[in-house]
Amino acid sequence: MTTSPRTRPARRPQSPPAAPPTAPPATARAAVAVLAGATAMGFVGGSVGVSAELADAPLAAAQALRYAAACLLLLTAARLAGVPLHRPRGAEWGWLAAVTGTGLLLFNVALVRGAGHADPAVFGVAVAGVPVALALAGPLLEGRRPRAGAVLAALAVTAGAALVQGFGRSDATGLLWALVVLLCEVGFTLLAVPVLARHGAWGVSVHTTWMATAAFGLAAVAAGEGAPSGLTGRHLLAVAYLALAVTAVAFVLWYSCVRRLGPARAGLLTGVAPVAAAVSGMLLGGPAPAPAVWAGIAVVAAGLGLGLLIREPAAVGAAPASGAPPRPT
């Protein structure tokens, strides 16, 4: 008697292992960074009219309230988003204090003190020089030589922004304050580069805003301004907008852009600020921009197009292209 051999059930084909998550393409990440930087500068440019509402407000008290509110917003948002914040250590305290002292403290003082010696357009032209300064100094800070194409693009953005802004009148003191404004704007970006890798955009924004709150608070007490009770409802609305849009949101967007693109390429986007100021003025009922302003906008756009197409080495603290998380520090 014979028995039939047992038949083994056919094995089901195993599905291949899931591929590890990969980071978005470099072009997509760069596009997001450009959008973040342009949005930040759009907020800054569109805030010109809002900042004018604080011309008769106690300076230190208003700024202390602004940065305190921004810091609380940043801390809350970081907690909700699960973003880790690190305590500064060693030389990081100095870098963060330098960012605060130049970009948040001295910058505002220079604008106020210089207002009696120069037209607003003079300070606008000073800020328009930021792309050239960052195109030259940014690569040097990273141990590289400035690239001719990047400098040429920055010159185009600066020239276009100057056309948009106009030139205005100034005495010698006003020109000195305008130079201070330029240096402070450059410092706000460049001095943050050494700490962006570890602290990221959120950390740098949080630490600089609480430092600015403390400094302006002490200045308010020293000047006899005391509590911000002297601020009117109009002042408080302006402070609220500056705290939310121009500080909490714009700081994170800007430093995210700098971290991804590097200071030289990100600096080109400062040319968006005067364009946003001109457009927002028209949307708020002001006169249409003059032909020279439209020409300046076109030159800014051409400079941005040229500069952002130039390939640069990976920026500081940028995530690896493979999608692997950076090493913890």
- Over the stretch 201-228, which tens digit does the pLDDT of each residue have? 999 999 999 999 999 999 999 988 766 6
Q: In the predicted model, is pLDDT for residue 108 greater than 90?
A: no
Q: In the predicted model, is pLDDT for residue 323 greater than 50?
A: no
Q: In the predicted model, is pLDDT for residue 157 greater than 60?
A: yes
Region 72-93 average pLDDT: 97
pLDDT of 30-51, one tens digit each? Answer: 889 999 999 998 888 777 667 7
Report if residue 11 sits inside a domain: no
- Give the model's pLDDT for residue 227: 66
- Give the model's pLDDT for residue 322: 35
Report if residue 36 sits inside a domain: no
Domain that holds residue 102: 68-309
Catalogue the E-assigned strands of 48-147. Answer: none
- Cβ 60 vs Cβ 104: under 8 Å: no
Report if residue 154 sits inside a domain: yes
41 CB-near residues (< 8 Å, 6+ apart): 250, 254, 269, 270, 271, 272, 273, 276
Q: In angstroms, rounded to a whole number, what is the distance separating the alpha carbons of residues 246 and 237?
A: 13
Region 240-249 average pLDDT: 95
* pTM: predicted TM-score of the whole model, two decimal places: 0.81
Report if residue 184 sits inside a domain: yes
- Give the model's pLDDT for residue 245: 94
Region 66-91 average pLDDT: 97
Report if residue 246 sits inside a domain: yes
Task: Output phi, psi for 55, to 5 deg.
Answer: -60, -35
264 CB-near residues (< 8 Å, 6+ apart): 134, 135, 138, 139, 146, 147, 150, 154, 312
Report if residue 34 sits inside a domain: no
Report if residue 156 sits inside a domain: yes
Q: In the predicted model, is pLDDT for residue 21 greater than 60?
A: no
Which segment, 93-107, 215-229, 311-325, is predicted with the most confidence on average?
A: 93-107
Domains of the chain: total: 1
The overall average pLDDT reported for the chain is 83
- Cβ 165 vs Cβ 128: under 8 Å: yes
Can you tell me whether residue 41 is helix, strand or coil? Answer: helix
Q: In the predicted model, is pLDDT for residue 327 greater than 50?
A: no
